[in-house]
Amino acid sequence: MPDVGVQLITTSDGSHSLFNVTLNETYHSVHGAVQESAHVFIDNGLDYFVHRNSPKEISILEIGFGTGLNALMTLKAALNTGISVHYTTLEAFPISTATAQLLNYAQKLDFDNANHYFEKLHNAVWEEEQLIEKNFSVKKLKQKIQDVHLSTSAFDIINFDAFAPSKQPDMWTMSVLQKIEMAMKPGAIFVTYCAKGQLKRDLKSLGLMVETLQGPPGKKEMVRAIKK
């Protein structure tokens, strides 16, 4: 059984997501959880950064570990490319291991030892950097973005995957975005499924170059912003 207040659902591409009863919001798009994560955070995030910079090493900050889908997809990409990835992820309200075991991402992504890696990601000790594979480490922080200390110019990619502004407005404030911008290296990118006008205006006011891109299936647009 999933955690209290959370329901397991199947999205249109056959991959699972969770429905948060309190917020009346799903963790991923009902049009396809895997499709959404691939489009926003891999295709227009990680892959874009790699093609633009040809790095040997990447530091990623994720706002909202959630189900662990983005982390697993990033791990898969790291294994395929050989690039070393340092993955820091925030989650103030983590799901239980029992709930994570209900999710079918390992089957849907279908790569060697996917289920083993997914379990390792969820079982990783909080607040400590742990090696999941020789070129992929994860540091899970059980903290809110408002409270966490982020080093200046520390990250190449920001995966902003909080619940929608209408559901969690405190996650999308200017003070939060300022903290994130300070933590971005020159040339770093910020990607999110959200394309609200206020978000784009706020990012531009912080000096970022903002792009409105085609969204994943079922969503018209998404945003990518680049630090100059």
Q: Which domain holds residue 45?
A: 32-227
Mean pLDDT of 122-130: 98
- Measured distance CA(77)–CA(96) in Å, rounded: 25
Q: Mean pLDDT, to the nearest integer, of 40-48? A: 98
Q: What total number of domains does the chain contain?
A: 1
Residue 2 lies in a domain: no
- In-domain check, residue 83: yes
User: How do residues 156-182 score in pLDDT, each as one tens digit?
Assistant: 999 999 999 999 999 999 999 999 999
Residue 8 lies in a domain: no
Q: What is the mean pLDDT of residues 181-207?
A: 98
Q: Is 186 domain-assigned?
A: yes
The Cα–Cα gap between 119 and 97 comes to: 8
Domain containing residue 102: CATH number: 3.40.50.150
How would you label 6-17 residue by residue, b for 16+ Cβ within 10 Å and e otherwise?
Answer: beeeebebebbb
User: Mean pLDDT, to the nearest integer, of 98-103?
Assistant: 98
pLDDT exceeds 90 at position 1: no
Residue 210: inside a domain: yes
- Is there a domain that residue 14 lies in? no
